[in-house]
Structure 1
Amino acid sequence: MAKSKDVRVTITLECISCDRNNSDKRFPGVSRYTTRKNQRNTPTRLELKKFCPYCSEHTIHRELKK
């Protein structure tokens, strides 16, 4: 039986442009995505370009601190 060392962890990605100018939006909110990453291959914070429904465009989503 193999031991689980939790190499893959679940992370949350948040839009970095929504939290800056949230007051002038019609639908206030922050776009968040949940995904998994391998900590051995990617020890740094993950940044992906994803679609934000509040900004209505593709923006950079950054990994949140735990």
Structure 2
Amino acid sequence: MPRDIIILECTEAKAEGKPTSRYTSTRNKKSLNTPGRLEKVKYNPFLRRRTLHRELR
């Protein structure tokens, strides 16, 4: 199976003392475009704004 299931966690919530939001997504294992951790801007309902979410390993 060439796609891998990953978890994206908010990077700004811990600094503000709020609960972190998590999303699940998929990524291509063999893609040369994303060799490191995947980062996406997603909505955090606890902070009520869009924040940067980074892949957990």
* TM-score, structure 2 as length reference: 0.85
Match of 1:20 among 15, 18, 32: 15
Q: Give the Cα separation in 1 of the matches to 2:55 and 2:15.
A: 16
Instruction: Give the greater-gyration-radius structure (CA).
Output: 1
Aligned length in residues: 55
Does 2:38 correspond to 1:46? yes
Runs of 4+ in 1 over 3 A off after TM superposition: none
**What's the offset of the Cα at 1:15?**
0.5
* TM-score, structure 1 as length reference: 0.75
Between Structure 1 and Structure 2, the one with more helix by share is 2
**What's the offset of the Cα at 1:43?**
2.2
SS of the residue corresponding to residue 36 of structure 2 reads coil
Between Structure 1 and Structure 2, the one with more strand by share is 2
